[in-house]
Structure 1
């Protein structure tokens, strides 16, 4: 066992899990390609091209713009949350909202014909609900950002801080004036 761990770099359980995941991926690939192989290949290539040529530059430019807006720091000498930390309070709710839109877009954009007749539910509510969920995600993120900023600007008090302040104020022993 020790020789395997030294050669592989991880435990035998890790190796077993990696091999199982490869087997599962191979099984899924075989099952996926048994139907319309050309359609699946075209879909994968189209998705890769759409992502690499359209979506990646779009969300990179958007991310840079938001970093530029949120990246400005105060110069008053106060501690503040770094720009890399602040940007995540916009990235996370935007990612979750867009992921929900991607997964549920047929219902949100009312692209499912016959949905009310199959389910006896109205299809008109999904757009408003997605907007409410998105607003709630951004509101919760704003509250988390406010709490993080409050923590960084809150005055630190306690025994450790008082001792450090006293040391700064007291003249050093042995120093000539």
Structure 2
């Protein structure tokens, strides 16, 4: 067992879970590609290009702007984290949030006009929770640095 840990760098359970996750991802990939293979490949390539050429520069510029507004402050992460989570929710649910899916109500029987309000509410709650954590950290004072 110690030889495995020296060779692999982690426990046997970690290796087993890693292999199981690769097997699950491979199974999902095979199932996904059995339908419209070209469409799936184009979607993955398009998503990578969109992220690397459009989204990454946008949020890098936004992050630099916030850093310049609050220079040298460790509280920058209290803006980054809720903004990231809100953006991730928007990225995943944008057709419903922006009401770009006309057949949603017919297909599911659920109303499609509630997603924008709920996304705004979740975003507000994320920023309020982050502000509360920042306030607690500020009130409790700085933590001692480990030696």
TM band (smaller chain): 0.7 to 0.9
Tell whether 2:91 aligns with 1:102.
yes
Deviations along 1:132-168, whole A, 9 cap, x unmatched? 2212221221222122222228xxxxxxxxxxxxxxx
Aligned pairs for 1:4-15 (under 5 A) are 4-15=4-15
CA RMSD in angstroms comes to 2.0
How far 1:105 moved relative to its partner? 1.7
Distance across 1 between alignment mates of 2:6 and 2:33:
38
Distance across 2 between alignment mates of 1:39 and 1:120:
28
Alignment coverage as a number of residue pairs: 142
The equivalent of 1:87 in structure 2 is 76
TM-score by length of 1: 0.71
Deviations along 1:48-83, whole A, 9 cap, x unmatched? 1111111111100100111111225xxxxxxxxxx2
Query: Greater helix share, 1 or 2?
Result: 2
Aligned pairs for 1:147-166 (under 5 A) are 147-152=136-141
The 4+ residue runs of structure 1 with deviation greater than 3 A are 114-122
Distance across 2 between alignment mates of 1:33 and 1:114:
25
Give ranges in structure 1 of 5+ residues lacking alignment. Answer: 73-82, 154-177
TM-score by length of 2: 0.83
